[in-house]
Amino acid sequence: MFHKVLVANRGAVAARVIRALKALNVQAVAVYSEADAAAPYLQEADEAHLIGPGPAKESYLDQDKLIAVMLAAKCDAVHPGYGFLSENSNFALRVEGEGATFIGPSPKFIEEMGHKARARDLMMRYGMPISPGSEILEDDEVAKREAERIGYPVLIKPAGGGGGIGMLPARDEAELVKGLESARSMASRSFGTAEVYIEKLLERPRHVELQILGDRHGGCRHVFERDCSLQRRNQKIIEESPAPGIGRDDIEKLAGTTAEAMARIGYDNIGTVEMLRGADGGFHFLEVNTRLQVEHGVTEEACSVDLVAAQVRVAAGEKVADVLPDEISVKGHAIECRVYAEDPKRFFPSPGKLEVFRIPSGEGVRVETGFAEGMQVTPFYDPMVAKVITRGKDRDEAIARMAGALEGFEISGIKNNIPFLLTALRDEAFVAGDVHTGLVPEIQARAKAREK
């Protein structure tokens, strides 16, 4: 096991990783920007090092500063959390080049899966179901021909990154040409490459992802699924497990195929294989996230596993068979809501001071946060202030506990999205499990109609 681990992140994930390291009797070294100097988890770490001012490029994205702290503190491993440098193969290579361990998949997998078009081709070769799509589009004429072959509507996607950035639908040729220009521009700014490709656009799909854990010995297992269909601007806001309304036989088959494909590839740490499920019930590969997910706590609560500890242990050389229980099953139901500092109707960020910030507790309620009362929610980072995870004997109980937990928050000084989350939890379609990636505007429309 490692002696000392640098936690190269901030907020809720830094707090979560530090907690896991302490449970493993591993020293945790935190880093923080000037904007995060009052973060409560810094007191939980064995060491805390200032790495620069608030802007991420001058702190959490500055590889030189992070490597310098790693060396000065004599860390033998780095946990990147999620976001920032967690899927940066160059950073992983630099960590390994200094003789430390990057707690994540090998750099080659980060590089290969980070290019979405190459990841599509790779997963297709290993038996994963793939929706019709194109190669990298060299020019607009090629794009027009490919769109005709695939059939409209199509979705334009950047090859160099994910998170919904630069994804644009096109329902005809004129929309395609216009969208290609915008997508290339956004892709270039966000990912450093203007490469784009297109896929068949699925209408009202479900977003279902499989949790994977591999090791350095050829082992790989799945830890079942999460449904992440409730999204705004292609960003998840509510996740749950098991996926409502999908037969367990279908999930077992998909999860088995996924774990087998990742094992054959040789994937060697934590990862998530994201899929879209069409109206016909068919699954289509979307992407692989080569890191710990924001919503990992849903799986931890549903399957009674500690994914963060497991990730650290396999990075230290243990076999996945020794890290995970022999038998894993989904027991009851777990659900997560992301609490954001944002306008609850338009979803625009709402930075400011957390004048009051008191979080709920109770049976079956878990809250992950990196904030404390009196701290500033700055415009430098993602505006998520907390993740709430509830579990229950069934979905109805998990939802009821979530509603109670959200109502138990006391927050002032910023706007937050709790009013919308409560509206979503009580929406008839969500309650019935009739979820899809376009549900949020439908929920908003129904709520607006009731206000009249």
pLDDT digits (tens), the chain, 452 positions: 999 999 999 999 999 999 999 999 999 999 999 999 999 999 999 999 999 999 999 999 999 999 999 999 999 999 999 999 999 999 999 999 999 999 999 999 999 999 999 999 999 999 999 999 999 999 999 999 999 999 999 999 999 877 678 899 999 999 999 999 999 999 898 888 899 999 999 999 999 999 999 999 999 999 999 999 999 988 999 999 999 999 999 999 999 999 999 999 999 999 999 999 999 999 999 999 999 999 999 999 999 999 999 999 999 999 999 999 999 999 999 999 999 999 999 999 999 999 999 999 999 999 999 999 999 999 999 999 999 999 999 999 999 999 999 999 999 999 999 999 999 999 999 999 999 999 999 999 999 998 87
What is the model's pLDDT at position 190?
Answer: 84
Q: Are 277 and 205 in contact (CB under 8 A)?
A: yes
**86 closest CA partner among 14, 165, 167:** 14
Helix orientation angle between 140-150 and 173-191, rounded to the nearest 10 degrees: 120
Tokens of 15: 């707090």
What is the model's pLDDT at position 169?
Answer: 95
Q: Are 361 and 367 in contact (CB under 8 A)?
A: yes
Helix orientation angle between 107-114 and 89-97, rounded to the nearest 10 degrees: 170
Task: Please give the Cα distance from 136 to 193 (Å, whole number).
Answer: 12
Catalytically active residues are: 291
What is the model's pLDDT at position 134?
Answer: 95
What is the reported pTM? 0.95
Q: Are 44 and 22 in contact (CB under 8 A)?
A: yes
What is the model's pLDDT at position 401?
Answer: 98
What is the model's pLDDT at position 189?
Answer: 87
Q: Are 341 and 349 in contact (CB under 8 A)?
A: yes
What is the model's pLDDT at position 166?
Answer: 84
What is the model's pLDDT at position 452?
Answer: 76
What is the model's pLDDT at position 161?
Answer: 77
Task: Please give the Cα distance from 252 to 391 (Å, whole number).
Answer: 21
What is the model's pLDDT at position 350?
Answer: 95
Tokens of 236: 């998840």
What is the model's pLDDT at position 192?
Answer: 85
What is the model's pLDDT at position 333?
Answer: 98
